């Protein structure tokens, strides 16, 4: 009798372990599908937009706490929804690329219907939250979602090298959403400068990734610039974008000397490494470092923006 009870307990524990493992895999698959890393990085820029709106309009974070919660939650959900829909649309090419072949949409761990439902659920819920923050925030959220899913993913990503530029519009919207939740009029030039910074930053960032993964994009038939025009032209274009980004970042001079010095030094360092790419013997190795620099540059730049409001 005792042996039977012991066996039953072992079976119960095994079943619990299996259930826990399965639930863990589901959570991981959902996070992968909504591209949680992209969600978090965009939340940083959305928060910076909202925070600077509070700072320049003289409002308090405590009195506008609900607006902050609504806009950050809504932005996260809209981006998550757009990423899930992107995964749904790209199910045919993701298995071809090493970078994406492990996605649940590519392996079949999540069905197409499940991914589609996730995408619409997150996107709609996010837009509702953004509308509760302000109608302007919802409009920008919808514009970014429409551009990313329909114009970029469904059309230009597979048709033209300009896909990177168009996709940059969607990625540049979060600071505008954040600002619009606090100041729906957007009469200040600050949110538009934030938009420009994000818009100009993205091409060199994604072109670095495209160089690093050029053969994967070639196999998948995606006309990224390095695939169509080669490395030399791609590197020259990246230099132009980084060179333009440097003075644009300095347009936020109203944040003070600390910001200006930090933005100048970071932008100059990135530009110097971009120019070094013209002489680098191993272009792919250079692109890996260029990609990491671009991520660190953006994170630090927006961190310095927020920090400058306390100095």
Q: How do residues 99-150 score in pLDDT, each as one tens digit? A: 898 999 999 999 999 999 999 999 999 999 999 999 999 999 999 999 999 9
Per-residue pLDDT, averaged over 57-75, amounts to: 95
Position 23 scores a pLDDT of: 52
Contacts of 234 (CB under 8 A, 6+ apart): 207, 210, 211, 225, 226
First to last CA, the chain: 73
Q: How high is the pLDDT of residue 25?
A: 82
> Which residue matches tokens 């959900």?
77
**Collapsed DSSP state (helix, strand, coil) of residue 160:** coil
Nearest to 144 by CA among 201, 224, 74, 200: 74
Q: What is the pLDDT of residues 203-236, one digit of tens each?
A: 999 999 999 999 999 999 999 999 999 999 999 9
8 Å CB contact between 160 and 223: yes
Return the sign of the alpha-carbon dihedral for residues 67, 175, 290, 82: positive
- Average pLDDT over the chain, rounded to an integer: 92
CA–CA distance, 236 with 203 (Å, rounded to integer): 12
Q: Is the pLDDT score of 301 beyond 90? A: yes
Q: How remote is the C-alpha of 163 from its chain's centroid?
A: 15
pTM, two decimal places: 0.90
Q: What integer pLDDT is reported at residue 214 of this predicted model?
A: 95
* CATH, domain range 36-187: 1.10.357.140
Flag whether pLDDT at 20 surpasses 70. Answer: no
Model confidence at 46, pLDDT cuts 50, 70, 90, reads very high
Q: Per-residue pLDDT for 2 more than 70?
A: no
pLDDT band at 19 (very low <50, low <70, confident <90, very high): very low
**Of 148, 190, 154, residue with least CA distance to 39:** 148
**How high is the pLDDT of residue 99?**
87
In this structure, is the dihedral angle defined by the CA atoms of residues 33, 36, 168 and 218, taken in order, positive or negative? negative
24: confidence class by pLDDT, cuts 50, 70, 90 = low
Judge whether residue 300 has pLDDT over 70: yes
Is the pLDDT reported for residue 26 higher than 80? yes
Provide, rounded to the nearest whole percent, the portion of the chain with pLDDT above 90: 88
Q: What percent of the chain has pLDDT over 70?
A: 92
pLDDT per position as a tens digit, 266-292? 999 999 999 999 999 999 999 999 999
Buried (b) or exposed (e) across 61-70, using 16+ Cβ within 10 A?
A: eeebeebbeb
Would you kindly state where each structural domain of the chain is located, as residue ranges? 36-187, 189-311
| Predicted pLDDT of residue 267 | 98
271/293 Cα distance (integer angstroms): 10
3-state secondary structure 60-89: CCCCCHHHHHHHHHHHHHHHHHHHHHHHHH
Residue 311's pLDDT is 87
């Amino acid at each position: 009798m005792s042996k039977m009870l012991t066996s039953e307990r072992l079976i119960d524990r095994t079943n619990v372990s299996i259930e826990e493992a399965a639930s863990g895999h589901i959570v991981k698959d959902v996070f992968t599908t909504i591209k949680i890393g992209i969600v978090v990085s965009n939340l940083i820029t959305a928060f910076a937009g909202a925070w600077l709106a509070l700072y320049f309009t003289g409002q308090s974070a405590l009195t506008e706490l609900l607006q902050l919660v609504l806009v950050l939650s809504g932005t996260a959900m809209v981006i998550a929804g757009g990423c899930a829909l992107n995964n749904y649309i790209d199910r045919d090419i993701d298995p071809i690329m090493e970078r994406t072949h492990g996605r649940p949409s590519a392996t079949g761990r999540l069905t197409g219907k499940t991914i589609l439902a996730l995408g619409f659920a997150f996107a709609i819920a996010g837009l509702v939250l953004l509308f509760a923050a302000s109608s302007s925030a919802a409009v920008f959220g919808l514009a970014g979602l429409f551009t990313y899913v329909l114009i970029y993913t469904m059309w230009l990503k597979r048709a033209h090298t300009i896909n990177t530029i168009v996709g940059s519009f969607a990625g540049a919207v979060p600071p505008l959403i954040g600002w619009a939740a606090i100041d729906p009029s957007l009469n200040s030039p600050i949110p538009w400068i934030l938009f420009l910074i994000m818009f100009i930053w993205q091409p060199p960032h994604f072109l670095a990734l495209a160089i690093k993964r050029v053969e994967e994009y070639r196999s998948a038939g995606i006309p990224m610039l390095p695939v169509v025009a080669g490395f030399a032209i791609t590197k020259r274009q990246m230099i132009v974008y980084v060179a333009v980004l440097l003075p644009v970042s300095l347009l936020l001079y109203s944040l003070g000397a600390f910001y200006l010095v930090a933005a100048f030094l970071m932008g100059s360092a990135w530009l110097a490494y971009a120019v070094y790419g013209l002489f680098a013997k191993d272009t792919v190795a250079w692109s890996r470092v260029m990609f990491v620099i671009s991520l660190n540059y953006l994170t630090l730049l927006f961190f310095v923006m927020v920090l400058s409001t306390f100095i």
